[in-house]
Protein backbone atom coordinates (compact mmCIF):
# COMPACT_ATOMS: atom_id res chain seq x y z
CA UNK A 1 0.00 0.00 0.00
CA UNK A 2 2.75 2.48 0.99
CA UNK A 3 4.67 1.75 -2.26
CA UNK A 4 1.59 2.51 -4.40
CA UNK A 5 1.02 5.75 -2.49
CA UNK A 6 4.69 6.76 -2.89
CA UNK A 7 4.59 6.03 -6.62
CA UNK A 8 1.35 7.96 -7.08
CA UNK A 9 2.69 10.91 -5.10
CA UNK A 10 5.94 10.89 -7.09
CA UNK A 11 4.05 10.82 -10.40
CA UNK A 12 1.79 13.68 -9.29
CA UNK A 13 4.78 15.81 -8.24
CA UNK A 14 6.56 15.18 -11.55
CA UNK A 15 3.44 16.17 -13.50
CA UNK A 16 3.00 19.30 -11.39
CA UNK A 17 6.62 20.22 -12.05
CA UNK A 18 6.14 19.80 -15.78
CA UNK A 19 3.05 22.01 -15.72
CA UNK A 20 4.90 24.62 -13.65
CA UNK A 21 7.98 24.61 -15.90
CA UNK A 22 9.01 28.02 -17.15
CA UNK A 23 7.68 29.02 -20.54
CA UNK A 24 10.27 29.83 -23.22
CA UNK A 25 11.43 33.43 -23.16
CA UNK A 26 10.33 35.80 -25.92
CA UNK A 27 12.87 36.34 -28.70
CA UNK A 28 13.83 39.45 -30.61
CA UNK A 29 16.11 40.25 -33.53
CA UNK A 30 18.96 42.61 -32.68
CA UNK A 31 21.62 44.07 -34.95
CA UNK A 32 25.25 44.90 -34.29
CA UNK A 33 26.12 46.70 -37.51
CA UNK A 34 25.59 44.11 -40.24
CA UNK A 35 25.50 41.22 -37.74
CA UNK A 36 22.10 39.77 -36.82
CA UNK A 37 21.45 38.39 -33.30
CA UNK A 38 18.55 36.12 -32.36
CA UNK A 39 18.21 37.07 -28.69
CA UNK A 40 16.05 35.71 -25.90
CA UNK A 41 14.66 38.53 -23.77
CA UNK A 42 15.16 38.30 -20.00
CA UNK A 43 13.00 41.17 -18.71
CA UNK A 44 11.74 39.79 -15.39
CA UNK A 45 13.63 39.23 -12.15
CA UNK A 46 13.20 35.46 -12.52
CA UNK A 47 14.42 35.40 -16.14
CA UNK A 48 17.40 37.64 -15.33
CA UNK A 49 18.37 35.46 -12.34
CA UNK A 50 18.22 32.27 -14.43
CA UNK A 51 19.82 33.68 -17.58
CA UNK A 52 21.70 31.02 -19.55
CA UNK A 53 22.22 28.71 -16.56
CA UNK A 54 22.44 24.97 -17.17
CA UNK A 55 22.76 25.26 -20.96
CA UNK A 56 25.57 23.33 -22.57
CA UNK A 57 25.55 24.96 -26.02
CA UNK A 58 24.26 28.00 -27.88
CA UNK A 59 24.19 28.68 -31.61
CA UNK A 60 26.66 31.30 -32.84
CA UNK A 61 23.97 33.85 -33.77
CA UNK A 62 21.97 33.37 -30.55
CA UNK A 63 22.24 35.37 -27.35
CA UNK A 64 20.30 36.70 -24.40
CA UNK A 65 19.49 40.34 -23.72
CA UNK A 66 18.82 41.35 -20.12
CA UNK A 67 16.46 44.31 -19.83
CA UNK A 68 16.54 46.35 -16.62
CA UNK A 69 13.77 48.68 -15.45
CA UNK A 70 16.21 51.55 -14.98
CA UNK A 71 19.85 52.27 -15.71
CA UNK A 72 22.22 51.15 -12.97
CA UNK A 73 25.49 49.48 -12.12
CA UNK A 74 24.44 45.96 -13.13
CA UNK A 75 26.67 42.93 -12.67
CA UNK A 76 26.69 39.39 -14.06
CA UNK A 77 28.19 36.14 -12.82
CA UNK A 78 28.44 32.60 -14.15
CA UNK A 79 27.16 30.41 -11.31
CA UNK A 80 25.65 27.22 -12.83
CA UNK A 81 26.47 28.50 -16.33
CA UNK A 82 28.39 25.98 -18.44
CA UNK A 83 28.98 28.18 -21.50
CA UNK A 84 31.93 30.57 -21.80
CA UNK A 85 30.28 33.92 -22.51
CA UNK A 86 31.02 37.55 -23.29
CA UNK A 87 28.68 40.22 -21.99
CA UNK A 88 28.24 43.70 -23.45
CA UNK A 89 26.70 46.29 -21.14
CA UNK A 90 24.60 48.85 -23.02
CA UNK A 91 23.19 52.25 -22.16
CA UNK A 92 19.61 53.38 -22.86
CA UNK A 93 20.43 54.13 -26.51
CA UNK A 94 22.02 50.69 -27.03
CA UNK A 95 25.59 52.03 -27.05
CA UNK A 96 28.09 49.49 -25.75
CA UNK A 97 29.69 50.71 -22.52
CA UNK A 98 32.06 47.79 -21.94
CA UNK A 99 32.47 44.12 -22.88
CA UNK A 100 33.59 41.48 -20.40
CA UNK A 101 34.64 37.85 -21.02
CA UNK A 102 33.33 35.41 -18.41
CA UNK A 103 34.53 31.96 -17.37
CA UNK A 104 31.97 29.14 -16.90
CA UNK A 105 30.94 28.04 -13.41
CA UNK A 106 32.49 31.03 -11.61
CA UNK A 107 31.08 33.58 -9.20
CA UNK A 108 33.31 36.48 -10.28
CA UNK A 109 31.36 39.72 -10.78
CA UNK A 110 31.46 41.37 -14.19
CA UNK A 111 29.91 44.84 -13.95
CA UNK A 112 28.93 47.70 -16.21
CA UNK A 113 31.50 50.51 -16.39
CA UNK A 114 28.69 53.10 -16.18
CA UNK A 115 24.92 52.89 -15.60
CA UNK A 116 23.52 50.30 -18.06
CA UNK A 117 19.96 49.60 -19.16
CA UNK A 118 20.77 46.35 -21.00
CA UNK A 119 23.28 43.50 -20.96
CA UNK A 120 23.77 41.25 -23.99
CA UNK A 121 25.34 37.81 -23.48
CA UNK A 122 26.84 36.00 -26.46
CA UNK A 123 29.26 33.10 -26.87
CA UNK A 124 32.68 34.19 -25.61
CA UNK A 125 34.63 36.07 -28.25
CA UNK A 126 31.58 36.82 -30.43
CA UNK A 127 32.02 40.60 -30.18
CA UNK A 128 35.80 40.47 -30.66
CA UNK A 129 35.61 38.21 -33.75
CA UNK A 130 33.32 40.77 -35.40
CA UNK A 131 35.27 43.87 -34.38
CA UNK A 132 32.43 45.07 -32.15
CA UNK A 133 33.74 47.41 -29.44
CA UNK A 134 32.60 49.87 -26.78
CA UNK A 135 31.08 52.97 -28.37
CA UNK A 136 29.30 50.94 -31.07
CA UNK A 137 25.52 50.54 -30.98
CA UNK A 138 23.20 47.51 -30.81
CA UNK A 139 19.84 48.23 -32.47
CA UNK A 140 16.42 46.60 -32.11
CA UNK A 141 16.47 46.50 -28.29
CA UNK A 142 13.11 46.07 -26.57
CA UNK A 143 11.70 48.97 -24.58
CA UNK A 144 11.97 48.52 -20.81
CA UNK A 145 8.72 47.91 -18.97
Indicate whether 8 belongs to any domain.
Answer: no
pLDDT at position 11: 43
Q: Indicate whether 68 belongs to any domain.
A: yes
pTM (two decimals): 0.82
Residue 126's CB is within 10 A of a number of other CB atoms, namely: 23
Q: How many residues does the chain have?
A: 145
Distance (Å, rounded) from C-alpha 134 to C-alpha 136? Answer: 6
The reported pLDDT for the residue numbered 1 is 45
How far, CA to CA in Å, does 87 sit from each of 17, 49, 131?
Answer: 31, 15, 15
**138: closest CA among 127, 125, 129, 128?**
127
* 145, β-bridge pairs: none
Q: Which secondary-structure segment (H or E) carries 127?
A: helix 126-129
Question: By the 8 A CB rule, do 137 and 30 touch?
Answer: no
Domain extent for 55: 24-139
**6 inside domain:** no
Query: Does 70 fall in a domain?
Result: yes
- Asked, for residue 85, whether it belongs to a domain, the answer is yes
How far apart CA 16 and CA 35 sit, in angstroms, is 41
Asked if residue 144 is part of any domain, the answer here is no
**What does each of the 145 residues of the chain score in pLDDT, given as a tens digit?**
444 434 344 444 444 444 444 578 999 999 999 999 999 999 998 989 888 888 888 999 999 999 999 999 999 999 999 999 999 999 999 999 999 999 999 999 999 999 999 999 999 999 999 999 999 999 999 987 7
- Backbone phi, then psi, for 13, in 5-degree steps? -65, -40
Q: How many domains does the chain have?
A: 1
Which residues, including other chains, have CB under 8 Å from residue 40's CB and lie 6 or more apart?
24, 25, 26, 27, 62, 63, 64, 65
Identify the CATH number of the domain in which residue 76 sits. 2.60.120.1140
Structural domain contains residue 18: no
Give the pLDDT score at 22: 59
Residue 13 counted as domain residue: no
Amino acid sequence: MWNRFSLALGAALMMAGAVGAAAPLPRIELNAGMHRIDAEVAATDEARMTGLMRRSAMEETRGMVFVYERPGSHCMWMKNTQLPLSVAFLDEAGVILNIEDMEPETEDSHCSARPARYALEMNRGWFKRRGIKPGMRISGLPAPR
